Homo-oligomer: A and B are copies of this chain.
Amino acid sequence: MEQENTVIKKRLSRLREAMKENGIDYYLMPTSDFHNSEYSADFFKVREYFCGFDGSNGTLVVSADEAGLWTDGRYFIQAENQLAGTGVTLFRMMEAGVPTIDEYLLANMKEGQVLGFDGRVLSAGIGQRYENELAPKGVSLKIDKDLAEEVWTERPALPCHDMYVLSDELCGQSFKQKLELVRGRMKEYGTQHYLLSKLDDIMWLTNLRGNDVECNPVALCYAYITMSDFVLFAQSKEITAEVKSYCESKGIKLCDYHELVSFIKDIRPEGDILFDKRNTNFLTYRVLKQLAAGSGRDLKNEKDPTEILKACKNETELKNIREVYLRDSAKLTEFIYWVKTNVGKIPMTEYSAAMKLDSMRAKLPGFIELSFPTISAYNANAAMAHYEATEDNCAEVKPQGLLLVDSGGTYMGGTTDVTRTMVVGPVSDEIKRHYTATVAGMLRLSKANFLEGCSGKNVDILARGPLWNMGIDYKHGTGHGIGYILNVHEGPQNIRWRFAAGADEAALLPGMIVSDEPGVYIEGSHGIRIENILEVVAGQENEYGRFLHFAHLTYAPIDLEAIDTAYMTSEDIENLNEYHALVYEKVSPYISDEKVLEWLKEATRAL
């Protein structure tokens, strides 16, 4: 008989009391912060607190007599273990016969009942969907209560770290210049008021940075923009003297982060209000709707104009990015050398290797933080989509097979992301076949010439082609955009072979930077991914339009020990030789250790 989890049961019973006091019949806890960030701080781990499940995706729904957790296939086993004895039912998402949350609520909630959730941790779209689906049943929503506030006594504080200012020289454009561009777009949309909720967009626009989200140099904040005012809502404690003085000098009005709602309630806008539903939480959306209705204005749901402005890097950003990528590539090269020369000779685990790389990177000039937690996965572990090695739970790296390391840093000068899969010992012919095709695909995409107007959908097949020719696919996109001293994942561009219905299939434009990361994942055997970051470069413009192509930003060796030219066309071989010649040429000036240089010369030899 399974043991009772009395800790969780007590927490749930206190939650149910709070629900009763607040007139809430069903309480829903998703996995998000107030801005739908990629990483949620401990403060936001309400779902984990109330059911014990700590996977990266899950929604907990609690009623007076039932509690259910929804999560996806990656986490079924983990969730089953962590929910044992809690009385919480596991709903295996996407499995036949398992209701979705919407279906569950529709089937169970009764007329007059109330669904509660913190309206700040649910996106406008999802909140609206619940509202529309449940209204006909006579169910209402209560979204202004974070019940965890009352029940979770030892809750970690809301992240609150000092903000800081990037110089205009480092950013290439001043806040004022950027604001002018944004206001220009607002005019095009015919709006005079604009609520911006997306953290990295606000950072980009203000040339400020923060530290409230893991691996993302962003502060929790909102921005309210009119043709005359710019109001930044941030936690007062984060506003250092430097930031305060910067804001004063730039005409940025400061309000506390928590004052947004009351601020909006007092506005009397003269025109329609611009916002981007994708990036707005449900509470903010409802407040905006009330504002619009109360003032006889319309809400204009458009893509945040900051998104595309941020995505197309300016010349200063590009210059700095290129330099940062060379330093980062050189450091990775030294790491690869370290792994390949030490494996089997010193104790080495996935975790210790990752720590080694992280500490090497931390020594680079201008290092701020990792751009995401380093992925270090040995052999079969690399075939698991979301494998995470921890100190207590990781494989030893033996002199056999492959070690995949996906890593990056944020520096004063750019944010990097790179994956190399290293040969640490003998590899099979199958592995060589997969490795070679992956490399061929990465390089074919990097050599593409295409007309402006193409999206990632047009070029994806260049990377995927060599694998598709072998009947193999990878179940992830080929490429994502990357921020400048910002988030390692940013839109709007994506290189994918298919897009979700309604997704923004954004055109590739000069100045965008994008990853190029095909891979092969064979369950129980091995995982291979090779990721370079590319810059989109304008080529000739003629009667046909403007041609674009890519330039590499990443210059790190690709392991020739897993390359078999029998699986390459002569063009693929040329591509690899050309790339490797550039790697040596560009990266060697950043490497001082003669042994590494000697090794690199050999590692980048022409085939």
A151 contacts partner chain B, Cβ-Cβ < 8 Å: no
A36 CB, min distance to chain B CBs, angstroms: 27
Contact present for B545 and A473 (CB under 8 Å): yes
CA distance A454 to B547 in the complex (A): 24
Contact present for B473 and A449 (CB under 8 Å): no
Q: Report which of B449, B458, B472, B571 forms a contact with A544, defined as CB distance below 8 A.
A: B472
Instruction: Give the nearest-CB partner of A544 in chain B.
Output: B473
How many copies of this chain sit in the oligomeric assembly? 2
- CB interface residues, A 269-311, toward B, < 8 Å: none
Contact present for B471 and A539 (CB under 8 Å): yes
Q: Across the interface, which residues of B come within 8 angstroms of A539, CB to CB? A: 471
- CB interface residues, A 424-448, toward B, < 8 Å: 448
Contact present for A450 and B471 (CB under 8 Å): no
A462 contacts partner chain B, Cβ-Cβ < 8 Å: yes
Q: Across the interface, which residues of B come within 8 angstroms of A569, CB to CB? A: 569-571
| Total count of chain A residues near the partner, CB < 8 A | 30
A257 contacts partner chain B, Cβ-Cβ < 8 Å: no
A466 CB, min distance to chain B CBs, angstroms: 10
A265 CB, min distance to chain B CBs, angstroms: 37
Q: Across the interface, which residues of B come within 8 angstroms of A542, CB to CB? A: 471
A41 contacts partner chain B, Cβ-Cβ < 8 Å: no
CA distance A460 to B569 in the complex (A): 21
A494 CB, min distance to chain B CBs, angstroms: 14
Knowing A462-B461, A571-B571, say if A469 contacts B449 (CB, 8 Å).
Answer: yes
Q: Report which of B459, B468, B475, B540 forms a contact with A450, defined as CB distance below 8 A.
A: B468
Instruction: Give the nearest-CB partner of A457 in chain B.
Output: B457
| In the complex, per-residue mask of A545-579: 1 if CB is within 8 Å of any chain B CB, else 0 | 10100000000000000000000011100000000
A497 contacts partner chain B, Cβ-Cβ < 8 Å: yes
Q: Across the interface, which residues of B come within 8 angstroms of A472, CB to CB? A: 544
Knowing A453-B498, A570-B570, say if A461 contacts B448 (CB, 8 Å).
Answer: yes
Q: Report which of B453, B460, B469 forms a contact with A458, defined as CB distance below 8 A.
A: B460
CA distance A544 to B520 in the complex (A): 11
CA distance A457 to B458 in the complex (A): 6
Q: Report which of B458, B468, B547 forms a contact with A471, defined as CB distance below 8 A.
A: B547
CA distance A459 to B468 in the complex (A): 12
A217 contacts partner chain B, Cβ-Cβ < 8 Å: no
CA distance A223 to B473 in the complex (A): 44
Q: Across the interface, which residues of B come within 8 angstroms of A506, CB to CB? A: none
Q: Across the interface, which residues of B come within 8 angstroms of A475, CB to CB? A: 544
Instruction: Give the nearest-CB partner of A468 in chain B.
Output: B449
| In the complex, per-residue mask of A119-150: 1 if CB is within 8 Å of any chain B CB, else 0 | 00000000000000000000000000000000
Knowing A544-B473, A569-B571, say if A468 contacts B451 (CB, 8 Å).
Answer: yes
Q: Report which of B460, B461, B468, B547 forms a contact with A547, defined as CB distance below 8 A.
A: B468
Q: Across the interface, which residues of B come within 8 angstroms of A458, CB to CB? A: 457-458, 460-461, 497
A465 contacts partner chain B, Cβ-Cβ < 8 Å: yes
A16 CB, min distance to chain B CBs, angstroms: 42
A-B contact pairs, 30 of them (CB 8 A): A448-B461, A448-B465, A449-B468, A449-B471, A451-B473, A451-B497, A453-B497, A454-B461, A454-B497, A454-B498, A457-B457, A457-B458, A458-B458, A458-B460, A458-B461, A458-B497, A461-B462, A468-B547, A471-B540, A471-B542, A471-B544, A471-B547, A472-B544, A473-B544, A473-B545, A569-B569, A569-B570, A570-B570, A570-B571, A571-B571
Beyond A449-B465, A449-B469, A472-B544, 20 extra complex contacts between A and B, CB < 8 Å: A448-B461, A448-B465, A450-B468, A451-B468, A451-B473, A451-B497, A453-B498, A454-B461, A454-B498, A458-B461, A458-B497, A459-B461, A461-B461, A461-B462, A462-B465, A471-B542, A471-B544, A471-B547, A473-B544, A571-B571
Q: Top 8 nearest A-B pairs by Cβ distance? A: A473-B544, A570-B570, A569-B571, A449-B468, A449-B469, A471-B540, A458-B461, A458-B497
